[in-house]
A = this chain, B = another copy of it.
Amino acid sequence: MARNRIGIWFIGAKGGVASTAIIGLLALKKGLTQTTALVSELPQFKKLDLVDWKDLVLGGHEIRDLSSYEEAMRLCTESRAIDGALIGKLKGDLDKLDKVIRPGTVANSGATIEGLAMAGVKSKASESPRATIDRLQADIKKFADDNKLAHVIVINVASTEPPCDASQFPTKWSELSKLLDKPKKCPLPASSLYAIATLELGYSHLNFTPSLGANLPAVDELARERKTRHMGYDGKTGETLLKSVLAPMFARRNLNVMSWVGHNIFGNMDGKVLDDPANKKAKVTSKDRLLGQILGYPPQTLVSIEYIASMGDWKTAWDHIHFQGFLGTPMTFQFIWQGCDSLLAAPLVIDLVRFTERAWRNGDVGTLTWLASFFKSPMGTPEHDFTVQFQELEKWAAAVK
């Protein structure tokens, strides 16, 4: 039996996370790397018969005008994150990919992101939301047709947008859809336009960023109506992953967390965008939310994310947890996490695509809450304990037909 060919469509296709996921997928296709860091390759998921590397076809939207190969090389030369020899072997594939990547949108993405966009993207700022959605859909449909794809999974790995008040939009899809022709009445950010474009086509949508995306009741309704699926938001890669592992320990030992301070420094493009206070706010909120929910009370918290150019893609976090033990005695736990941001995110992106593809085959519709372990702010569930989230994934896998 011929196997399905599946498309991965990256929003932000030349950014650090997409570049790394693409390099990883190309390397996996050619057998040039191991499957380290891929959750979907753990033994307990073997029975799922997840999509093979060779059946995955790559494409995406991007707002900047640059070469995938050059961007990838910066992960070697600036950050010492990826082996330059490996990137060299993939140059041909990366150059080919550049031709498939289409101009995206910067609608309501804030001045910092707009400042990064190429002319052809900027000039379309006056499009109506509907016109933008149509344009994005035309790109994705052509990708699907050209490659005879059985399904497409769109995953947003673009820069973080400024926070957007979701309550300003109608909660019914029938009402929201009517507004799409009226730009002034419908300031939907780019992330939501991508989500609507995807779901209207019946494709699956994943939001790896803290941007609004499909996190609107009306858009969730759209997904259910079209019998498709989505999940988000904000990939849980480093410091927050640790929080979701450590905070439950303090809770289970009944230790009283008085304060939890987390300082993050890094120097990649994501860092530059987050240096804009508007964009940073969305991220910090997402990193900070879980502690109170896990602990059951709000400790004093502080989260900073600062752009330090020399760090490149190496995100370093220092967390200082001040807690009271027995008889009220204060004690301290500190950790220092030195991880490569793109290399932590990329395998999760690949995992999410593979699990979502399986959910498509399984007929799952709506919000995929059992993917919560991959997200800082998982949609549709209040669960933030990483272990419990992971057990949900295992339970789903056990139940898949």
Contact = CB atoms under 8 A, between A and B. Distances in A.
A328 B33 contact: yes
A326 B86 CA distance: 13
A85 interface: yes
Contacts of A118: none
Interface in A19-64: 20, 23-24, 27, 33-39, 41-42
Contacts of A309: 258-259, 300
Given A37-B326, A344-B326, A263 B304 contact: yes
Contacts of A337: 332-333
A46 to B, nearest CB: 13
Contacts of A248: 245, 387
A24 B338 contact: no
B255 A37 contact: yes
A181 to B, nearest CB: 43
Contact of A318 (B82, B83, B263, B387): B263
Contacts of A325: 36-37, 339-340, 343-344, 347
A361 to B, nearest CB: 22
A284 to B, nearest CB: 13
A357 B53 CA distance: 55
Nearest to A350: B326
Contacts of A347: 254, 325-326
Contacts of A308: 259, 261, 300, 302, 322
B252 A42 contact: yes
Nearest to A331: B339
Interface string A82-109: 1111100000000000000000000000
A19 B98 CA distance: 41
Nearest to A77: B83
A263 B306 CA distance: 11
Nearest to A36: B256
Given A329-B81, A335-B334, A253 B39 contact: yes
A33 B324 CA distance: 12
Interface residues of A, number: 75
Contacts of A339: 325, 331-333
B80 A80 contact: yes
Interface in A273-321: 300, 302, 304, 306, 308-311, 316, 318, 320
A309 B298 CA distance: 13
A386 B247 CA distance: 13
A300 B310 CA distance: 8
A131 interface: no
A330 interface: yes
A218 interface: no
A1 interface: no
A306 B310 contact: no
Contacts of A39: 252-254
A155 interface: no
A308 to B, nearest CB: 5
Contacts of A316: 320
A241 to B, nearest CB: 7
A400 interface: no
A353 interface: no
A165 to B, nearest CB: 26
Given A245-B249, A263-B263, A302-B306, 4 more contacts: A245-B246, A249-B386, A300-B308, A387-B388
Interface of A: 20, 23-24, 27, 33-39, 41-42, 80-86, 241-242, 245-246, 248-249, 252-256, 258-259, 261, 263, 265, 300, 302, 304, 306, 308-311, 316, 318, 320, 322, 324-340, 343-344, 346-347, 373, 385-388, 390
